Structure 1
Amino acid sequence: MRSRLLPLITLAALSLALTSCAGPAAQSPAAPSTPADGHGAIAGAEEVAEPQLGLTTVDDAGRVTHLDLLDESVTDIGAVAAPEGMATDGRYLFADTGDGVEVVDSGVWTWDHVDHFHYYRAEPALLGTVEGHGTATVATTNSSTTGGTGISFSGSGDAVLLDTEALSKGEIRELFRIERTPHAGLVVPVGSFALVTEADGEAGGSVVGHTAHGERTGLRESCVAPSGTITTRVGAVIGCADGALLAHVEDGAVVVDRIPYPEDAPAGAVTSFHNREGRPTVAGLAGPTDIRILDTRARAWTLLTAPAPLVQVTAVGDEDDTLLALAEDGRVLVLSALDGAVRAETAPLVAESVAGGATPVLIADQHRAYLSGPAEHRLFEIDYADGARVARTFDTTDAPAFVAETGR
């Protein structure tokens, strides 16, 4: 089933201390300006020859630290309020404090020009707070200099769309704020629009189209228990109890495709999707051994049974059809996305974290995987193509509670 949304308006747009530390970063960008040439450039930022990859972390107390993966230097960015959760788009960190979302600019990003990339570096910064009440769910796009960033507050019900271009200039600007019935919902940016969930009874059940200024467009799609969203090269995925919605722009309009689970799928639904940023294939768990992979190009699901109970699964989307998984015993498994076969595995690197209720983060990159061990006070770099070899280990004095790979 496909719905179309006609365009009505266009959008203008660690405490982690590692073995060494740098001084505090500036609290605002040095020279904000508008994008210079449509290639992700911002005045005051330096364009460089390679991606400035790093691990930006927030500890339980809110301390923000950046580890440069190229030279292993460490920058203390500052502190936010104690976070309850965190989301990222590969540049910004959105720390959910329960009473709002604090925005951190890591100062490193990549601009995707489809056939090539541009890489930038600037001063990291603490940008400020988006006010709200209750758990915040953040939805981003693959651009950190244009478009919108959506935030849904479960306590107040507020649906907020931020201007991402304004974020790139150090300014938090709301394009709209809509009052809704409080629920654990979503605000998902799609081109010059946003899809906003609305609660329909106890289950919650609709996705409604809005312009960048919050005006309703007439688009409404049923989606029972909406939960989980991710943006790929193809479009924005929204998880529903019976499958997923895929929203993308086609001929100047937003098109929504419904991708139901196969009829033989067991009970359960994916509530969190993971992949290598931007790749068309995403993965999630509908149960400890129930892996579900969505190919957004083919609009098709693949169902796999995991070889062991899992905590997280993420699709690499490479030519080898690689799937990475974190097992409940703390091992990282390298699996085949075709049949679920185990290709390689690590030792139980984060067994203490998993057993103690901490939440390790597993991140897929083009060449490496990164795993956080809050209880172990370590960050691991894993070469998943080389027998799951642990390539580097970074010891920390404080727990890396929330981790993002930035510069992507």
Structure 2
Amino acid sequence: MQKSRTIVPLAFAVAVALAFGGCASGTDEPDTETAGTTAAAEKSAGSESPDEDDTGAGHGAVEGAEEVAEPQLHLVSIDGDGAVGMVDLLDGTQSELGGIDPPSAVTSDGRYLFVETAMGVEIVDSGVWTWDHVDHFHFYRTAPQLLGPVPGSGTVVVATSANATTGGTGLFFPESGEAVLLDNQALSRGRVEELFRVETDPHEGLTAPLAEGALVTSVDDAGAVTEVLYHDADGTPVDGVSAPCPDATGTITSRVGVVVGCADGAVLATADGGEPTLEHIRYPEGTDAPPATDFRNRKGRPTAAALAGDTGFWLLDTREKNWQYVPTDQPLLQVSASDDADEHVVALDGEGRIRVYSGEDGTELAASEPLLAKAVADPEMLAGVDLVVDRERAYVNDPATGVVHEIDYRGDVRVARSLETPTAPDFFSEAGR
């Protein structure tokens, strides 16, 4: 199949990137809304490392990594056979990292790609990351590498934490009921190490990293998911630290804490001072929209979006601890909250269009042409399509044409660039966030 492409002269692309920042550098604004937020937010999201004190000493630095002045944003592409490649969004440099087992799904925390395969999870380290100190940021780069596999059977649910060098990454294998917490500090040093691997009853569950441990779903005698329990760093359940969460599905780490979706709302977990606190945020009374099960946002922001079935989407503000339901005229496939000053919400619809809504009142602001019409009509290709939002741009891969579209969602939803990647972008993510 011949690939369609938009050719952008490199000198011009660099000039545009430097002029507009977000197109390639994408620097997030510091979050200075609440005095005293820094320490609480970092601890709540599990961003502290055992060798970092309350002042944030270390700032995400890793031996051998270079601290740089701006985000090192890259696209990481993986083709259907497992060949992995990278594109530097600033200067266009391309590289190929090697091969992994054929992928079936990809989850990223902004540095690592956790790739579901038939044998478990393969971990790709992009070598670029941002360390969020809330009121300022640190940017790093080191050599990318393939870190290797984590064994597991069947599908896997992956849950990431706030920072790539601290805390953990949660894996849950529904077929076996194994809950695994990976050590992010070890990953940042090129080692795949498990903090714990706990056996539970097989069920559709999750492992959501929080502070030094994780929330793990629990089932009743009938096999239904009823609650989440906090397990410490060695996998031991902590007495009294649990919350009811019927049909727990979907999780995200926001600026405030860890969210787990429930049939009747969500659990918001924080860990100020290392002590986990779990509270319930119920859906508004009188709203019968389908529950949120797949939360997405611009990394680290307080507000997350999630589909409400095919009727619209939910917005969960973890700072205000409330929900907003936004019905839409078109069924959506993915939705993500930018949570910027204008409260943009970016979505992919069933026709392959990118649509942008106002998070303030739910009105549709703009829509693109059907960019991914062929990909969204093919279930196999659609399984690898992902929509990623940063401060200035959104990125969506089109397996049908072999490009990644860079979308100006804060303007008229135009395609700013269509980028070829060194390996076909059957799966992809943006790294360096």
Q: TM-score, normalised by structure 2?
A: 0.84
Alpha-carbon distance, 1:193 to partner: 2.2
Amino acid at match of 2:126: S
In the TM superposition, what are the counterparts of 1:132-281 in structure 2 within 5 Å? Answer: 132-200=152-220, 201-218=222-239, 219-281=241-303
Q: Which residue of 2 aligns with 1:366?
A: 391
Shift of 1:325: 0.9
Paired residue secondary structure (2:187): helix
Equivalent of 1:305 in 327, 346, 356:
327
Gaps of 5+ in 2: 1-47
AA aligned to 2:92 is E
Cα distance in 2 for residues equivalent to 1:221 and 1:282: 21
C-alpha contact 1:11 1:212 (8 A) present in aligned 2: no
Cα distance in 1 for residues equivalent to 2:232 and 2:400: 44
Ranges in structure 1 where 5+ consecutive residues have no aligned partner: 1-9, 14-35
Separation of aligned partners in 1, 2:156 and 2:90: 32
* Count of residues in Structure 1 that have an aligned counterpart in Structure 2: 377
Say yes or no: does 1:80 pair with 2:105. no
Map of 1:66 onto structure 2:
86
* Inter-partner Cα distance in structure 1 for 2:97 and 2:423: 15
2:341 match: 319
User: How high is the sequence identity, in percent, across the aligned residues?
Assistant: 49
2:112 counterpart of 1:92: yes
- Which of 349, 367, 377 lines up with 2:371 in the alignment? 349
How far off its partner does 1:307 sit?
Answer: 2.8
2:308 is paired with a residue whose SS is strand
Which runs of at least 4 in structure 1 moved beyond 2 Å after TM superposition? 10-13, 199-203, 395-399
Alpha-carbon distance in structure 2 between the residues aligned to 1:158 and 1:259: 28
Report if aligned partners of 1:53, 1:70 keep a CA contact under 8 Å in 2: yes
User: 1:11 Cα shift?
Assistant: 6.5
The residue identity in structure 2 corresponding to 1:117 is F
Verify the 8 A CA contact 1:153 1:159 in the aligned structure 2.
Answer: yes
Question: What is the Cα deviation at residue 205 of structure 1?
Answer: 1.6
Taking only aligned residues, the RMSD between alpha carbons, in angstroms, comes to: 1.6
Partner SS for 2:296: coil
- When residues 354 and 308 of structure 1 are mapped into structure 2, their CA distance, relative to the original with a 3 A threshold, is same
Q: Is the Cα contact below 8 Å between 1:148 and 1:161 reproduced in 2?
A: yes
The 1-side partners of 2:133 and 2:289 are apart by 40
Counterpart of 2:276 in 1: which secondary structure?
Answer: strand
What displacement does 1:53 show? 0.3
Q: CA deviation at 1:100?
A: 1.0
User: Higher helix proportion, which one?
Assistant: 2
SS in structure 2 at match of 1:354: helix
3-state SS of 1:166 partner: helix
Aligned CA distance change for structure 1 residues 46 and 302 (closer, same or farther; 3 Å): same
- Confirm or deny: 8 A CA contact 2:402 2:426 kept in the other structure: no
The alpha-carbon deviation at position 396 of structure 1 amounts to: 5.0
What is the aligned counterpart of 1:386 among 401, 411, 414?
Answer: 411
Q: CA deviation at 1:65?
A: 0.9
Change (3 A) 1:335 1:114: same
State the distance in 2 between where 1:194 and 1:272 align: 19
In 1, distance between residues paired with 2:247 and 2:286?
A: 20
| TM-score (structure 1 length as normaliser) | 0.89
Summarize deviations over 1:199-258 as a string: whole Å, max 9, x none. Answer: 222432221111101111112222111111000110010011111111011243111110
Q: Secondary structure at the match of 1:287?
A: coil
**SS of match in other structure, 1:391:** strand
